[in-house]
Amino acid sequence: MTKDKHEKAMGTARPHSNQLGEPLGAPGPSAAASRAVIAAPVRRDDPPQPPVIGVFDSGFGGLTVLRSLLARIPSAHYIYLGDTARLPYGAKSPATVARYAVESARFLEERGCQYLVIACNTATALALEEIRMAVRVPVLGVIEPGSQAVRRELQDAGGDVLVLATSATVQSHAYREACRRTGLRAFEVACPLLVPLVEEGWTDHDVTRAVLRIYLSQALAICQPKAVLLGCTHYPLVAGAIQAMLRELGSDAIVIDSAKATAEAAETALGGWSATAAAEAKGNFECFATDSVEKFQRLGSLFLGQPIASVHLLDLGG
């Protein structure tokens, strides 16, 4: 097996750092200001070079974030890691999730990534600070960008937010707290059947619509949201079906895709890298998976919206 197809992610210990990537003890913002930071801008030499961005998820769902990143920052080089051997993270303890996520983040940093996007709601909810302390590069999760996107959409109108997510993300109440910090009240609803339906490819299927009717009917019975936030990276593939069902049930709530919101936040943090930046540089991506590379290649193409030419097998250990 070649080196590219079989890497070890465990590295040497990293010095602890704050959310801005500075060593602890260095002058910096207050604790309150640090909590408000999504990620620090990446510094670039002049002339600027396309950034190398690492994207990590426990499986396939994070490819919807990569899909949005490719649209927002097409000139970057992306390295995607799906920890398919150890999913689902939602069934693991916070300590185990943190260990898995840190191993993945260190692997991406060692591959030369200058900026990391944790495209996994469970890892963001349970291990974001541990990841930021373990690496030297800025790290962006998916929860804060989603909640801030809702705030921007609603502006001063206020109103409740309905968060659709997996059971593990709902139990963490990470979205509820993130929305609270922006002055919004969030109702979190677990939709555990949506992930297997999406992975089955049933994004436009009567069974999926029936399941959505049940989940949304129950949710609308307890709140009248102004916005519905998709708190799982699988859910963008059924965003249209969710919006259609909301209308059918009499709700005019807008649907917010946290994958798109995360890509927008990354573009901002990277200093405005966009379709017009370094137009002569064509972006590309490479994918790593810790198991089932053939399934990853086949199913991942659905999430990414384009073929995946190859997937490298990676051993992160137990």
Alpha helices of the chain — where are they, by DSSP H?
Answer: 31-36, 63-72, 94-110, 121-134, 143-154, 167-172, 174-181, 194-199, 206-220, 239-248, 258-269, 293-304
Say how far apart CA 240 and CA 236 lie, in whole Å: 8
Say how far apart CA 160 and CA 249 lie, in whole Å: 17
Contact present, 262 and 119 (Cβ < 8 Å): yes
Retrieve residue 165's tokens. 């997510």
| Strands of the 227-230 sheet, one edge to the other | 185-190, 160-165, 227-230, 254-257
| Run of H or E including 193 | none
Helix (H, G, I), strand (E, B) or coil at 29: coil
User: Residue 189, Cα to own-chain centre: how many angstroms?
Assistant: 18
DSSP β-bridge partners for residue 53 = 78, 115
| Run of H or E including 175 | helix 174-181
Bond before 138 cis per omega within 30 degrees: no
Query: Residue 10: is it exposed, middle or buried by C-beta count within 10 angstroms (0-12/13-18/19+)?
Result: exposed
Contact present, 220 and 257 (Cβ < 8 Å): no
Give the active site residues: 120, 232
Say how far apart CA 289 and CA 296 lie, in whole Å: 7
